[in-house]
Structure formats: C-alpha cells, structure tokens
Chains A and B, each alone.
Chain A
C-alpha cells in the first residue's frame, strides 16, 4: 500500500498556492492535513498528478473572535489547536464539543478544520456542524474571493462548490442568539469510527420558551449534510414538549433524511437511530437553551 508518484510543491503563500492550482487544474489536489487523502493514495484510490501542499502557508492557521461575537478559523488550523483553544469554548461551544469526537488524537494533531470541510464527507462532524451553525466559507481563486454559506457549499458525496482552482481559506461561525441550546449526538460502532448516524441540533427559544428556531443536521444520513426542514417546521413556533420532540424526531427520520445501507447498518436501522438521537439531542439542546 504505497502511494503512486506525484509532483510536489509546498507554497508558502495563498497566492503561490493559487498559481499552482490554476496551472494544473484537475490534475492538482491541495494537500491539507492529508488524513483522508493520504490513506486514499496509499490504497491507490486517489492518484493526483500534483500535490499542492498547504502546510507551509502559515497565514492559514488562526483562530480569531469576530466583531459580532462569533469566530473566524483559518482553513489550515489543525483540529488539535481548535480543540484546545479557550476562544472556541467561549464563542463556539458546539464546535468545542465536537472537536474531541473527530477521529482520534493522532488524526486531530494533523488534520485541519478546512481540510475536513473541503473533503465534504457527509459522515464528517464538522461538515454537519458547520451547516447547523450557519457557517460561512471563504473560497478564493486567482480571480478573487467569495463567501459561501455552509448550507450551499456541500453538493453531494465528497463534492462541494469548489472548483479545481479554488481554495478554502477561512470559516466564519456566527455567535449563538440568546436562549440557544445545542447538541451533537452520534452512534458509532466504536466511539471514534465514522458514525452510523449522527445529528447536530441547535435550538433557539423565544421569550415564551417556545421554539423560535431550530436546526437539525444529520451525519451519515444521505449524500451530504442532511438538514431536517420538515422536522423544523413541526417544532417552530411550538412549545417544545416531549410530544413535539417526538413528532419532530419521527418526521426527521422518515421525511428529511435519506440514509443508505452498508455493511454496518441498513437504512432502516439508520432511520430508527435518527429518531432516537433526534429526541435525545433536542432534549439536551432544550435543557441548555433554558439554562442560558
């Protein structure tokens, strides 16, 4: 299991990286943490002709609070750095809770925040959590830059709006409104495996403690991060009772997600688990929303 040959460059600036990407087009692949790409190369399932290694671009590794009280994270910031940063705990509690659940410590030492998003794996925690949090992604190329909302970024299985000459450089996460609770729940065969099903829940209550807004985004539940719009309708404007939660869970499991079957779980089992986790996640989010 040895990787095939490739041409290698390690630019130190974003501009330089964009030059390489523009020059090689579809032949090139940016190398971030490499924790998904390199195993695929070792299996020879991926054979990029040119690797543009982003690890020497120091400018892409940062965690900064934004003016509105949210957070801005550089695409090449390593998971471990996000996991340990007190700013994250303060400004993005759902991210803070998510980080230790991503793979294993050795993978988190090397894997990057932006790399995980650009890979667009629907089983990846950050993919779903970034949608649940209404994140925004800064994508640049030689022509310029654009901000893409997380919900529009992911197009399907391992595909996003990114073109070969594009680079994801920064992720913005807005702050939570008042009276907001959150939860990330996953069921995996072993805790650090890709989950059989998972859900990121963000619930905001109004001043009457009714559901003002809710986002439920599912992992491993379809070709991309699966946002439960129907289930959200069930809850919005309603008192968040056990019955309402159950109704939302059933709606999400039956209408909003589109899981497939594989060796670890059938689609039926995934729907069942989605129902259970939705209930548990909403209960946790509700408790937190009330606690604020």
Chain B
C-alpha cells in the first residue's frame, strides 16, 4: 500500500510541501525528509522526550505523531529557536550554567521549556522539575538543567 499524502506545513517559519506515506513519523519527517536533524530520537515510544517539538506552540513528542497530522500546522524545532551567533536566552542559559553534556537530550528540553517559561516567567524549583520530568537526561543529573532554567527565566524577564 503506497498511499501517498500531500503534506503542507510550516517548520520554523518556512513552508514545506512533501508527498509522504501516512505512517511516516513526524520525527523521521523532520530529520530525514527536511534534514533538520536537531530533533533527536531516543525511544520512539514517547518516554524520553528527546524528540519534543512545538506544534502550534505546544510541546509534543514528534515520535508519537504521524507527519500527515501536522498538515496545515506550524512546527518549531530546536533549529528554529536560535542560531550559533544568536542563541535563544534558554540556549544561552544552558551554555552558561553547563546544562548539557552529550547534548542529545538537549533539544527536547529546550523546546519543552520555551512555552513553559513563556507561561511561567518566574517558576519555582518544583514547577521547573515537574515541567522537565517528561525529558530524560542521562548525563547531567538535572541539577544544572534546573539552574539553566532559572537563569533563562531571569534573562527572559529582563
């Protein structure tokens, strides 16, 4: 069965149109059809959070969505947050507070945190920890990630 679907969506502000199979996961579409490999795949069953992207502003697991379902929607990936020369304040804070080590899980944390900090400009430690509890990190023990989020909140309030 090769029923191809015509998909049209916006990723990081750019419009894309592709013919795809309906079973193609959004994570694979972003990574291998669009070449946006910043979104990482760690489990493909919705637990690790590495593949988190923003769908119409909300953080979602891109491994738990078919790309066809993003038709007509707007996706933002880590590549859409900031660039090497112009980091998003959250990216900047992760750099300064050593909020990453291998960096594999990091894109999922960043995308989760963008709407979180927009909705909670001054979060408590507990709120931060709960917000990132759907993202697994095997390197940092989370302490410096929490520190990064606090620092990012300060930067974004300023």
Contact = CB atoms under 8 A, between A and B. Distances in A.
A–B direct touch in complex (beta carbons closer than 8 A): yes
Nearest to B108: A106
A4 interface: yes
B64 A6 contact: no
Given A34-B65, A39-B64, A106-B134, A5 B46 contact: no
B21 interface: yes
Interface of A: 1-8, 10, 34-35, 38-39, 42-43, 51, 53, 55, 80, 100, 103-107, 109-110, 190-192
A107 B46 contact: yes
Nearest to B134: A104
B21 A105 contact: no
11 contacts: A5-B1, A10-B69, A34-B64, A34-B69, A39-B64, A42-B45, A43-B45, A51-B22, A80-B58, A100-B130, A105-B59
Range class of the B interface residue count: 20 to 34
A109 B58 contact: yes
Of B25, B60, B63, most buried by chain A (CB within 10 Å of CB) is: B60
B94 interface: no
Given A2-B25, A7-B1, A8-B5, A105 B131 contact: yes
A27 B53 CA distance: 31
Given A106-B49, A106-B112, A6 B23 contact: yes
A5 B112 contact: no
A260 B52 CA distance: 34
B14 interface: no
Interface-central residue, A35, A107, A192, by most chain B CB under 10 Å: A107
Interface in B120-158: 130-131, 133-134
B68 interface: yes
A65 to B, nearest CB: 24
A42 B134 contact: no
A5 B66 CA distance: 12
Interface of B: 1, 3, 5, 21-23, 25, 28, 44-46, 49, 52, 55, 58-61, 63-66, 68-69, 71, 112, 116, 130-131, 133-134
10 residue pairs, one from A and one from B, having the closest CB atoms: A104-B134, A8-B22, A109-B58, A39-B45, A1-B44, A38-B64, A110-B60, A106-B59, A3-B23, A42-B44
A2 B60 CA distance: 18
A3 B71 CA distance: 19
Contacts of A38: 46, 63-66
Contacts of A8: 3, 5, 22-23, 66, 68
B133 A106 contact: no
B98 to A, nearest CB: 24
A216 B49 CA distance: 34
A78 to B, nearest CB: 8
A241 B49 CA distance: 45
A2 B44 CA distance: 8
Contact of B3 (A3, A7, A43): A7
Nearest to A6: B23
A1 B134 CA distance: 20
A64 B116 CA distance: 26
Contacts of A1: 44-45
Nearest to A37: B64
A109 B49 contact: no
A145 to B, nearest CB: 27
A177 to B, nearest CB: 32
A38 to B, nearest CB: 5
A106 to B, nearest CB: 5
B3 A109 contact: no
Most buried by B among A35, A39, A109: A109
Contacts of A103: 134
A10 B71 CA distance: 11
